[in-house]
Amino acid sequence: MDINLDFNDRFIETGSGRMHVKVHDGTRPTLIFLHGLGANVKSWTRLVRLLPPTFTIYLVDLIGHGDSDAPEINYGLEVQLDAIRDLVTSDGIRNPCLFGHSYGGLIAARYAISNRVERLILEDSAGLRSQFLNTDKEKMEKKKETLIKNAALWGTKEYVTSSILDDEVAGPYLMDGKDLDMIKVPTLIIWGEKDDLIDPRFSSEFAGAITGSRLVMVKDAMHVPHYTHPQEVADALISFLES
């Protein structure tokens, strides 16, 4: 499928402004894709080319990203969670499958803990408390600077990225094993074998805490397997949804 030819643009009214989504209307399953920090719907271009046209797909620009509104607010995770709830309600989506990459993985996992979903896919996911334990402050600041610069390349404003990072590091939405144990739906965990942003060892922590989850390591991939290794990710996703 072509992201420009086979998807329609829609805007969903949320409590924090309009949220832009690209939608392909198929049948089942219904997949909602949540991109990483600073990115936008275009990050899924290579992956959707390899997915069956029978899937119903929502590619979301998170609030503050892409063509969604970017109000000058505190970007606590509830902003994004509420916006996803508004999308699900407005379109009458029943039990969607959520696919979250990195920051989008944190949103997807938190959503799955307290809302009904059919399946969950976490790719190189952020969100574990242990990812921030014993971390050198200087290294954290350098990483933050790098993430802000990378987000700017996608057109994301600095105040958005900075607010999200400050909120994430503060830890009110970070998860541990007790949180993840509350996820009771079939879960696929995908991770780049050479991820240089979120250490691949955290993939095992997710897999060990989510009962019955399936872990797929993508050989030679770094932090964004769906972009650098779309075929491997598509194969893993389709196999998981058909199982």
Question: 188 CB contacts (<8 Å, ≥6 apart)?
Answer: 119, 120, 121, 122, 213, 214, 216, 236, 237, 240
pLDDT attached to residue 168 = 66
pLDDT of residue 146: 87
Which CATH number applies to 8-242?
Answer: 3.40.50.1820
How large is the angle between the packed helices 158-170 and 137-153, nearest 10 degrees?
140
**186 and 119 Cβ atoms separated by less than 8 Å:** yes
What pLDDT is attached to residue 171? 63
User: What per-residue confidence (pLDDT) applies to 141?
Assistant: 81
Radius of gyration of the chain, Cα coordinates, nearest whole angstrom: 16
pLDDT at 134: 64
Orientation of helix 103-114 relative to helix 77-90, angle to 10°: 60
**Amino acid making up residue 32:** I
pLDDT for 144 equals: 83
Residue 148 to residue 214: CA distance in whole angstroms: 32
Q: Write down the pLDDT at residue 138.
A: 77
- pLDDT at position 51 is 98
Is residue 119 within 8 A of residue 95, CB to CB? The reply is no
The overall pTM is greater than 0.85: yes
For residue 44, give the nearest of 233, 206, 175 by alpha carbon.
233
Domain boundaries along the sequence of the chain? 8-242
**129-147 tens-digit pLDDT:** 888 876 677 777 888 888 8
Dist CA 192 CA 224 (whole Å): 7
Q: What pLDDT was estimated at residue 24? A: 98
Residues of the chain with pLDDT under 50: none
